Amino acid sequence: MRHSIEIWQDPPLKKLGHSVKEFLCNLNGPTWIDITGQDTDRTRVLVTLLHGNEPSGTKALFNWLTDPDREQPLTNLSCLINSVEAALTEPEFSHRYMPHCPDMNRCFRPPFDSDNGKLAKAILQRIRSLKPEAVIDMHNTSGSGPDFAVTTKLEKEHINLAKNFSKRLILTELQLGSLMEAEVGCPIITLECGGSIDFAADQAALKALHTLATHKNLFLDDTESKLDILKHPLRVEVKNDVRVSYAEMAMAHSDITLASDIEKHNFGVTPKDECLGWVGPKGLDYFSAIDDCGHDIKSDLFTVRHGKLYTARNLRLFMVTPRPEIAQKDCLFYLVKADT
């Protein structure tokens, strides 16, 4: 893996290709695409495809770049397309990252010793050198659901920035090594556009890119625009070697079987005593839900009765995934208490 990243400056249409796949095939790995703006003293940064199974940002960028009616952006735009190899590995857009590599969006902190870590360090160095006024890190959620923004700082400029892109904002102080945790001299927010197969997510990504290119002031204090702010979500994880599946009944080969329609809980209020699935004989011991004080509070959130997993209080779940490999390697979902 090379750690230097190719830079395309104002690429001509013929270099972009005729489809998203051809576009990716024309890239020689991670690539910055720099577009000159009307005001060359200002720069905005878009990062996308940190995960190879999250295509909406790449689709949006391709469609925007190849639009014959596209106007010159107000500021310079510097757009990174990262996990090209993973995205092109068959079946396309199904690999979060390459086998035996760490999650790219867990590598933006020292020691930067893996290949992905070295690449993350190079990305941070370029962002800092550009001195942008804002960075948007565009993703798809691992299950279907509405778009939302995520920030690690609930400062005025982060709130105003987020209002441009979503009606929902999540404040998290979880330290995972993600890009939005890094200090680059300007506000960074993550934009989760929705599920990777959701047409609405592709639309949200294209709308966000258009906003990034055309809005004169991304930090305008718009008091009429309201945000639904969720603070300090918990990650619900499973312990090592726990087997997870999704079905309409308990699966004998699994320790945890979550309901096949589990995605329906994304962002709505899931009431107390809602059945989420089935668990084996260890019950809640398969799970962990660590709060800000380092305490595992899963018993305050869930209960098990007759082998079924129920909510113990009203909850708001999001980033609910129906994919076992993500549930086992990353987390089942995030949540906040709905009554606090």
Res 1 pLDDT > 60 = no
Where in the chain are all domains bearing CATH 3.40.630.10? 6-230
- Average pLDDT estimate for 239-244: 94
Q: Which residues contact 211 (CB under 8 A, 6 or more apart)?
A: 164, 165, 218
- The H or E element that residue 2 is part of is none
pLDDT in tens, 152-189: 999 999 999 999 999 999 999 888 999 999 999 999 99
Strand extents, DSSP E, the chain: 6-9, 31-35, 39-48, 75-81, 134-141, 148-151, 168-171, 188-195, 228-231, 234-238, 244-247, 256-259, 269-270, 275-279, 287-289, 302-305, 308-311, 315-318, 333-337
Res 18 pLDDT > 70 = yes
Domain 6-230, what architecture?
Answer: 3-Layer(aba) Sandwich (3.40)
Confidence at 340, pLDDT banded by 50, 70, 90: low
Give the span between the Cα atoms of 282 and 53, in whole angstroms.
33
Q: In this predicted structure, what is the pLDDT of residue 221?
A: 85
Tell me the helix, strand and coil percentages in the chain, rounded to 5: 25, 30, 45
The residues that bridge with 170 in the sheet, in sequence order, are 150, 230
- Between CA 34 and CA 26, with CA 113 as vertex, the angle to 5 degrees is 35
Give the span between the Cα atoms of 93 and 43, in whole angstroms.
29
Pairing of strands 333-337, 315-318: antiparallel
- As a whole number of Å, the CA-based R_g of the chain is 20
- The model carries a pTM of 0.89
pLDDT in tens, 46-94: 999 999 999 999 999 999 999 999 999 999 999 999 999 999 999 999 9
pLDDT in tens, 107-163: 999 999 999 999 999 999 999 999 999 999 999 998 888 999 999 999 999 999 999
